[in-house]
Amino acid sequence: MTDPMMRELGLILLSVLLIFATLEVVASHGDQPLSTISVQKATFALHHQAYIKVSPTLLGLKGQNTDWVTVEFSSPNPSVEDWIGVFSPSNFSASSCTAPADNPWVEPPLLCSAPIKYQYANYSTPKYKETGKGSLKLQLINQRSDFSFALFSGGLSNPKVVAVSNKVAFSNPKAPVYPRLAQGKVWNEYCEQFFTYPAYYYFALEIIQLKSDSQMTVTWTSGYGIGEAVPFVEWGPKGGQPIRSPAGTLTFDRNSISCTISKDYLLKTRNALPELFLKLKRHLICVIMLMCSGEPARTVGWRDPGFIHTSFLKELWPNTLYTYKLGHILSNGTYVWSQEYKFRASPYPGQNSLQRVVIFGDMGKAEADGSNEYNDFQHGSLNTTKQLIRDLNNIDIAFLIGDICYANGYLSQWDQFTAQAEPIASTVPFMIASGNHERDWPGSGSFFGNKDSGGECGVLAETMFYVPTENRAKYSTDYGMFRFCVADTEHDWREGTEQYQFIEHCLASVDRRKQPWLIFLAHRVLGYSSATFYADTGSFGEPMGRESLQKLWQKYKVDIAIYGHAHHYERTCPIYQNICTNKEKQHYKGAMNGTIHVVAGGGGAGLAEFTTLNTKWSLFKDYDYGFVKLTAFDHSSLLFEYKKSSDGKVYDSFTISRDYRDILACTVDSCPSTTLAS
Ligand SMILES: [Fe+2]
């Protein structure tokens, strides 16, 4: 072969390698960091000279649910690839592994489950490779079980356990933790909670219909199962007489149906809490949901989810400050309490008062101690969380519109996310929408047949967080002068579907005299986006998105549609059928004649590129992490702001000033035809 031919071949080979490298980066985007560990390949190579020890052994002594430990370790054969895995429960050996169901002759793997977090041994000790000694500070949260730590050699792809630590635990691992507030279904309107999940992945063992005429719901996690303790919320106006409301309990299982409400339990409940017994009988729920047949959710990613309780608080006084505590009455009559939290009751629909809403998508979670870092996966979520907490006195309700924590089938991550979001979610209603990383799985009924949920199929999201839905993950919710119609882009939205009917009903049924601000929310971009991955398809949005829904947005005069999924910020002009309907860019007055579309997917997960193509409907783009805030001052005045997560400052904004007559004003395709008859 001649030299030029060799060079040409070399260049081709280099190009192929570069393409593969690029594909690798693209493919890894959105992966769960724990998925980089080849858990099934792990072997034991314990070495008598190696050690790992952790202190203190008892955590949360002041009642806190987050604590720090110091990990000290040593290996006689140190390497830069050595890493520390944190396991919970502490017993992570083969004892609970089983052989694959379809082949009993195959030996079960030595490790059954992924660590709940990991860090490289040289992270805080750069000289670990030379000295063989190192230490780490790691943050743990109360996750219902004890913890142990293991030193691994062989990197993440060929892990070998070299040493195992002592066990550490929180003083009460079962404690009620991480409350999440959410708006209830209606204001004092009777309504039945009815479960209509598809039978192929949910089994409802016993469902007691629930009267959920509540304005605020509190959902939390504990280690106390049905039969062990009675869950409730003690709450009341700040400084006033507290009352107690019972809670339902949900859990789910990996492989089997194992939960019942026994006679024994009902008897224990009656004895423990006679005054609430009658109410409780009405409110008990025990729904067993099976994970869909996906890995890793049912294999190495599985972790017992504990018990998820929801209480429905009723007859709240609008805008009144309430305090609350989570409680469990054990069968011996003793009480277990959480710390005290507070929230302000939502305004009555239509109420004229200052109302402030934050909206963002694709947040994810990250570890404050730097563990699980992988391609800077979701580090931005810590900044977003920090800014929202800093501004919490000026926030009334929050929406996280899909791709919540990217657990992707590693269930421990949901606890860690609820711990990270606790300061926000325990104080203001924290409303979620369903994203691909919560729901999508082949053959499970999701509109998209990819594996982004890691086998969760929506079970985790729909259990860990309450939404006021009639069916699955779509819902409408009113907050004062706002009506939010929250779509579920992981199920079909096209004309003729149940979801299309729901969206039309939600948009059509609001009284715009009382609730002038009509907001459409969805995870995937159903409207307009300049993200490269949408632009490359030529559709600048989810295919079949605006083709299906734009006539509804136009007919019902949706003010703003906000999406996630594309990890950055973008705002369009008021638009209908690809044409800007208003030349103004910042201070809209009177009829807008179209809907403003916003992408707010920069909540924290790795950023997405914009196309270099010029999209003339795009008024503002920002390749950064951030969130949007809507402030309704009254029925005629709305402020929209985009803030960066890095500093919490406003980088884009616009105002809308208009009256009810401007909402009535006819524009293209927004009014029915009129008759000439008088
Ligand atoms: Fe997404």
Tens-digit pLDDT profile for residues 239-275: 999 999 989 888 877 753 333 344 445 555 555 555 5
Tell me how far the alpha carbon of residue 477 lies from the centroid of ligand 1, in angstroms: 22
pLDDT on residue 142: 97
Range from 83-87, 205-209, 307-311, 671-675 carrying the lowest mean pLDDT: 205-209
Q: Which of 628, 620, 624 is nearest to 646 (CA)?
A: 624
Q: How far is the centre of ligand 1, averaged over its atoms, from the C-alpha of 32 (Å)?
A: 13
Give residue 417's identity as a one-letter amino acid code: F
* CA–CA gap between residue 430 and residue 183 (Å, rounded): 8
- CA triplet 250, 251, 253: central angle to 5 degrees? 155
Question: Could you tell me the pTM of the whole model?
Answer: 0.89
From CA 226, how far away is CA 666, in angstroms rounded? 56
CA atoms within 13 A on the CB side of 375: 17
User: Distance from the CA of 67 to the center of ligand 1, in angstroms?
Assistant: 32
Residues of the chain with CATH 2.60.40.2840: 39-170
Determine which helix (DSSP H) or strand (DSSP E) holds 26, and give its type and residue range: helix 3-28
pLDDT at 60: 96
pLDDT reported for residue 226: 79
pLDDT tens figures, 195-231: 333 332 232 322 333 333 458 999 999 999 878 899 9
**Distance, CA 535 to ligand 1 centroid (Å)?**
16
Q: Which of 339, 336, 315 is nearest to 243 (CA)?
A: 315
Q: What is the pLDDT of residues 379-397, one digit of tens each?
A: 899 999 999 999 999 999 9
Of 98-102, 233-237, 350-354, minimum mean pLDDT range:
98-102
For residues 447-454, give the mean pLDDT: 93
* Poorest-pLDDT segment among 83-92, 168-177, 253-262, 358-367: 253-262
Angle between helices 546-555 and 498-508 (to 10 degrees): 20
Q: Which residue's structure tokens are 């400052």?
A: 649
Residue 185 pLDDT: 85
CATH of range 350-669; options 1.10.3720.10, 3.60.21.10, 3.40.50.1820, 3.40.50.2000: 3.60.21.10
List helix spans (H) across 204-273.
263-272
279 Cα to the center of ligand 1, angstroms:
40
Domain with CATH 3.60.21.10 in the chain: 350-669
pLDDT at 644 over 60: yes
Overall residue count recorded for the chain in this entry: 678
Residue written as tokens 């409207």?
527
Centre of ligand 1 to C-alpha 439, Å, is 10
Ligand 1 centroid to residue 490 C-alpha, Å? 10
Has residue 102 got a pLDDT over 60?
no
- What integer pLDDT is reported at residue 31 of this predicted model? 81
Q: Start-end ranges of CATH 2.60.40.380 in the chain?
A: 174-345
- 39-170 carries CATH number 2.40.110.10: no
CATH of domain 174-345: 2.60.40.380
pLDDT digits (tens, 9 = 90+) for 502-522: 999 999 999 999 999 999 999
How remote is the CA of residue 361 from the centroid of ligand 1, in Å?
8
Average pLDDT of the chain, as a whole number: 86
**Residue 253: per-residue pLDDT:** 76
